[in-house]
Amino acid sequence: MRIEDCFQLGHISRLHGFKGEVVAVFDTDRPEAYENLESVFLEDRGELIPFFIDESSRNSKGHFILKLEDVDDEPAARQLIGKELWLPLSVLPPLDGKNFYFHEVIGFRLMHQGQEIGICEDVLDTSAQPLFKVIDADEKEILIPAIDPFILRISREEQLIEMELPEGLLELYQDNA
């Protein structure tokens, strides 16, 4: 399995007990969708290694306690701390309407008031709100908040995101020379 064909679900944060169990933090707002996983991939030096899940439960903080196959003691489990957990893109539940996965809108055209702003090159999730990183026709980078009030419609068929942006936002990126 290639990393390009997967999404990062979360990571192993710490040990749980002394029998090889680990605490996994899933980076999702719908953890219940992943309660019955049979397996996960762990990233190790750029490679994805499959691990079957023998047992899974949730702790009081909502994190998952995993007992992975053939990880039977503390030393084996300790080697997994900090490893990223990955799943194939094919297991993502489909979204509709204005809901989207960041990876799925890469390459979509962004429109505002009938005019094309540019092509979504990435979705940045490092600030208080996610940002569409858009490249316009002049190869300039434009950052647009990827928030629900600004998104009118997403068409997966047309690979298009229609937006209603606040007055002056796009003008910030225009040359005043």
**pLDDT tens track, the chain, 177 positions:** 899 899 999 999 999 999 999 999 998 878 888 999 999 999 999 899 999 999 999 998 889 999 999 999 999 999 999 999 999 998 888 888 898 988 899 999 999 999 999 999 999 987 789 999 999 999 999 999 999 999 999 999 999 999 999 999 999 887 654
Q: Would the pTM count as exceeding 0.85?
A: no
Domain with 153, as residue range(s), is: 102-173
In the listed set 59, 91, 123, which residue is the last one of a domain according to the structure?
Answer: 91
Residue 35: phi, psi to the nearest 5? -70, -25
Cα distances (Å, whole numbers) of residue 144 to 39, 88, 93, 122, 167: 37, 29, 26, 11, 13
Task: Please say whether the beta carbons of 125 and 133 come within 8 A.
Answer: no
Quick check: is 33 in a domain? yes
In the listed set 69, 91, 113, which residue is the last one of a domain according to the structure?
Answer: 91
Residues in Cβ contact with 32 at an 8 Å cutoff, skipping those fewer than 6 apart = none
**Whether residues 111 and 163 fall in one domain:** yes
**Whether residues 107 and 133 fall in one domain:** yes
Residue 124: phi, psi to the nearest 5? -90, 130
